[in-house]
Structure 1
Amino acid sequence: MQESKRLNFLKSYLKLFGVKRIELVDETVDSTSGIAIYDENDPEERQEFIWHKSEQEVPSLELNILIEKIVAEKWHNGDKISDEIEELEFEEFDNTTKEKILNELFDVQIRMIDDGEETDSYWVHY
């Protein structure tokens, strides 16, 4: 079975927060829920989440490219993206596209779940 675009995006996006693996709990038409695992050996290092997006609402594939580059180059610290990213050139896309993709990145919000309640969010900013 092919991995959904949502799960593929979540795996990439949650790397920004140090997530090593995602355990999928449920996928419906309108949401994906799971457990973000930070440390496979520590049961305390897990966070339940839900992302209220359909498969058609997944951000562009270019955003995955941008995120992977941010992670690889360490242009972030948790939820804070280095503002130097504005100055950087990407061979994968031009500056206009980069600006559009950064806006997509800052629009992503994935809800954390604690004790069955949506509490905080995974989201990034400058």
Structure 2
Amino acid sequence: MLQFEIDRFQILEVTENKIRAIVGWPSEGQLDYDPNEEIQEIVWNIQRLENIDDALEILEMASSEGFFDSDKLILSIDELWHLTSWERERFDNAIQDLLEIRVDMVDDGRKTDYFFVHF
């Protein structure tokens, strides 16, 4: 969620298969900014991904290097691979898992959209 520039994260519920939380965003200079309105309920139905640690390592590296435009990686897969020292199979497995992560947005009790990363 840090990739989406949140500044608040409140966990509402944690189960073996799900994390439900509220996230919030900082003011972007709005005159009428209300931190109670700049929030979003989210639900992550945790996928059982075999390479999640590697996927998150790639995400953290790409984020810290500024290789994102919002939720889009601005490098090609090959360019990103060349920045790692990994064998191609390990990298490809991590990218596959990274692209499968979905965190649902919930409005009025209904899933309305989701956060994800893509190329």
Deviation at 1:83, TM superposition (A): 3.3
TM-score by length of 2: 0.79
Return the match for 1:75 from 67, 73, 83. Answer: 67
Task: Show CA shifts across 1:78-106 (max 9, x none).
Answer: 12111334213234533322221111111
Q: Percentage identity across aligned positions?
A: 23
Amino acid at match of 2:61: K
1:98 equivalent in alignment to 2:91:
yes
- CA separation in 1, counterparts of 2:37 and 2:66? 25
2:25 alignment partner AA:
Y
Q: State how far apart, in whole Å, the 1-side matches of 2:106 and 2:85 are.
A: 35
Secondary structure, counterpart of 2:11 in structure 1: strand
- Segments of 5+ residues of structure 1 without an aligned counterpart are 1-13
Larger Rg over CA atoms: 2
Secondary structure of 1:83's counterpart equals: coil
1:108 aligned residue: 101
User: Unaligned stretches of 5+ in structure 2?
Assistant: 28-33
Aligned Cα root-mean-square deviation (Å): 2.2
Report the counterpart of residue 38 of structure 1 in structure 2. 25
- Out of 47, 54, 57, the position equivalent to 1:62 is 54
Residue aligning to 1:8? none
Q: State the match for 2:30 in structure 1.
A: none
**Structure 1 residue matching 2:76: 3-state secondary structure:** helix
State the one-letter code of the partner of 2:9.
I
What are the superposed Cα offsets for residues 9-40 of structure 1, whole Å, 9 maximum, x if unpaired? xxxxx122112332100012221100122228
Q: What is the alpha-carbon distance in structure 2 between the residues aligned to residue 92 and residue 24 of structure 1?
A: 35
Question: Between Structure 1 and Structure 2, how many residues are aligned?
Answer: 111
List, as ranges, runs of 4+ consecutive aligned residues in structure 1 with deviation greater than 3 Å. none
Corresponding residue for residue 3 of structure 1: none
1:124 corresponds to: 117
**1:47-105 CA distances to partner (integer Å, 9 max, x unpaired)?**
11001126xx2552112211111111111111211133421323453332222111111
